[in-house]
Copies of this chain bind each other. A is one copy, B any other.
Amino acid sequence: MPNSFGKIFTVTTWGESHGGAVGVVVDGCPPRLPLETPEIQAELDRRRPGQSDLVTPRQEEDKVEILSGVFEGRTTGAPISLLVRNTDARPGAYDEMKEKFRPSHADFTYQAKFGIRDHRGGGRSSARETIGRVAAGAIAKKVLHVAGGVEIRAFVTRVHDLEAPPPDHFPTLEEVEASSVRCPDAATAARMIERIKAVRAEGDSVGGLIECRVRGVPAGLGEPVFDRLEADLAKAMLSLPATKGFEIGSGFSGTLLKGSEHNDLFENREGQVRTRTNRSGGVQGGISNGEEICFRVAFKPTATLLRRQETVDVHGQPAELMGRGRHDPCVLPRAVPIVEAMAALVLVDHWMRHAAQCGTFKF
């Protein structure tokens, strides 16, 4: 099931950029969760195009419809089907891509794999696929929030070479949303916005880093071996378009420390086993330890450029391609709610799996 994610709380996304609609089916959702359309819409609005002058001007409301699984304002335990119609499709804008492979895009590999390809707007590789993830993630976030007080906060921490200082507190949603670039450090945010605009003016693009923190997760989520919490988070993040790397806790820079510098010593804090430092990033031995979960995701610069690039066509002949269509010169601002959504999906699924094995029968 290549288009499904999660073992118990399972989401299946479907839809292409220029098909009739995109959507998601959420299967295994706990029953009786209060759920209204606006809660899902709010998350989609954070991801939708046209929300600021930094992102693609594609004009779509991305209005979500709940088709099943909710009755009188509560989930029933039946699969929840969510649908968003595609309304601003401009297939003609992509005619050139029918014949030419865009560099660093999925055009060539889709053709190689499937022997057929919906070239309009990238088809299935379009960022519109993430609408389903965000809609499902909104439900997962609500489950985590209502049931466990869990808070998930992603934010842009670097654009190109402009890096924000590490936040000295758990950033609030307001701080993140204060700037269109979703960097909670206002000064850096301003420079990031300037950079993105400058790069866009050149028809170019930039990438950067998103950091995600999660607090309120109890100790015990995750599995010792293959389904380690960080392994599933890594998969979730690398499953997003344009990602090239993942690190948790001390990450790549932690490899420069000695063990004596890196270990998180345990202490008793207010009656609880806690660690003094958090180089583990909230996960030890694959399992959450109750500390803040902290990871970072690397996004490459957007592949679509509004400038001429050399490539080959579907017959293998040299060709030139002039980027058209609507695109984001930097995907990070809109990727923030998507990172949160994927983190929420991983956590809810592990929470339920943990409960199944360790909470069902008491011996």
Contacts and interface: CB of A to CB of B under 8 A. Distances in A.
Contact of A299 (B2, B255, B265, B272): B255
Given A245-B252, A255-B300, A3 B220 contact: no
A5 B226 CA distance: 6
Interface string A309-321: 1111000111000
Contact of A360 (B113, B310, B359): B359
A87 interface: no
B227 A239 contact: yes
A104 B355 contact: no
A32 B76 contact: no
A302 interface: yes
The 3 closest A-B pairs by CB, nearest first: A106-B285, A245-B247, A205-B259
A356 B358 contact: no
B312 A147 contact: no
8 contacts: A3-B79, A14-B80, A103-B265, A113-B358, A238-B248, A257-B300, A259-B300, A263-B303
A236 B113 CA distance: 23
A125 B28 CA distance: 16
Nearest to A144: B361
Q: Determine chain A's interface SS by DSSP, over half rule.
A: mixed
Interface residues of A, number: 167
Nearest to A124: B78
The listed residue with most B CB atoms (<10 A of its CB), out of A146, A244, A311, is A244
A41 interface: no
Contacts of A267: 310, 312, 318
Copies of this chain in its oligomeric complex: 4
Given A20-B68, A224-B124, A289 B112 contact: yes
A137 interface: no
A353 interface: yes
A52 interface: no
A72 to B, nearest CB: 8
Interface in A40-66: 65-66
A117 interface: yes
A14 B78 contact: yes
A165 B220 CA distance: 41
A309 B263 contact: yes
A249 B244 contact: yes
B268 A312 contact: yes
B224 A2 contact: yes
Nearest to A85: B67
Nearest to A261: B301
